[in-house]
Amino acid sequence: MLVRDAARSDAASLCAFAVALFEERLPVLYTRNAPPTVDQQIAFIDEMATPRSKLFVAMSPDARVIGMLDFHGEQRAEAAHGGQLGMSVAHGFRGCGVGRRLLEALFAWAPDAGISRIELQVFATNAIAVGLYEGCGFEHEGRRRKAVRTVLGDVDVLLMGKLFD
């Protein structure tokens, strides 16, 4: 597996990744009405190519996207040392270290970008993701009770953060 910055040439593979992910209808993810188009993915890749934001992809040996991590840096000057991440991993590759490798790429990039605080939100029912984040140094900072309605009922959203010295 290779983890690297996303490129415009990854747009079609990112679309296929998103389609497969949304088709799973996992109760630990937000849903979408329609998967993104290649043009929307290109726009997203371009949007993330800033000094304060980043889009990483994990690629399989056959050059398919098997994971992605997006980090949105805060725009306000007072909070510009931080930002929010989102991450997903393809079915069949979960539990194989893809998420950890994506986080490690973010942690390596963050200090040079002036990022010393990384935040995330995760469904409380997503125990595997919560365990990964805890194992990578994220701490619990809050809970939004019954913040999301899923087919399984109302779900709390955990707020987690990691500080870099």
Q: Which CATH superfamily is domain 2-163 in?
A: Gcn5-related N-acetyltransferase (GNAT) (3.40.630.30)
**pLDDT band at residue 159 under the 50/70/90 scheme:** very high
Inter-axis angle of helices 38-48 and 11-23, to 10 degrees?
Answer: 110
pLDDT value, residue 19: 85
Taking the model in full, what pTM does it have?
0.92
**164: phi then psi, degrees, rounded to nearest 5:** -110, 140
pLDDT digits (tens, 9 = 90+) for 78-123: 999 999 999 999 989 988 999 999 999 999 999 999 999 999 999 9
pLDDT value, residue 149: 85
pLDDT digits (tens, 9 = 90+) for 3-36: 999 999 999 999 999 888 877 766 555 566 677 8
pLDDT value, residue 161: 98
